[in-house]
Structure 1
């Protein structure tokens, strides 16, 4: 686990994208992000209880890097709908 949030999100095993809202683009298998259940396509809604649902990736990353908790807690909602074959 990194000693600070300066490398968030990459050092915690995931990448973000989006101009507001922000989404999880990829999650590294076995990373802390993967173990916490983050999945590609999840929309980031909160950081440490703060509403960030309209922030783009740069603003979201800057905010997360200033948080005291390592890693900062994030709230997400899945935006990928699974389609099952019949």
Structure 2
């Protein structure tokens, strides 16, 4: 009977250190993205390498929820006000992609 080989894999070294804000007061810019629209709100841009980028947010995503609160019809200022009052840093955000694939 042949013995099993165990291979130990180390995670690749980080090429970048991600600094997480300690409050939501600068949300969404401090987390690497910008909102726009007039209601509903959409993600206008996502900074590459940011926490928003690493979480999978993309320009064109429509914001549906913040921490389980339905914000699907609200404009950016109302969405930002709700996000900035949440306890979790960053607040959870539910989105749906509105970019059509061609």
Normalising by the residue count of structure 2, what TM-score does the alignment of the two structures yield?
0.81
Question: For 1:25-56, what per-residue CA distance to the aligned partner results, in whole angstroms no more than 9, with x for missing partners?
Answer: 00000000000000000000000011000110
Uncovered stretches (5+) of structure 1, i.e. residues with no partner: none
Matched, 1:59 2:78: yes
Higher Cα radius of gyration? 2
Task: Give the 3-state SS of the residue equivalent to 2:87 in structure 1.
Answer: coil
Deviation at 1:19, TM superposition (A): 1.1
Verify: 1:69 aligned to 2:92, yes or no.
Answer: no
Q: Residue 57 of structure 1: CA displacement?
A: 0.4
TM-score using structure 1 length:
0.95
Which protein, 1 or 2, shows the higher relative CO under an 8 Å CA cutoff with sep ≥ 6?
Answer: 1
Between Structure 1 and Structure 2, how many residues are aligned? 83
Tell me the C-alpha RMSD between the 2 structures: 0.4
Which of structure 1's runs of 4+ aligned residues deviate more than 3 A? none
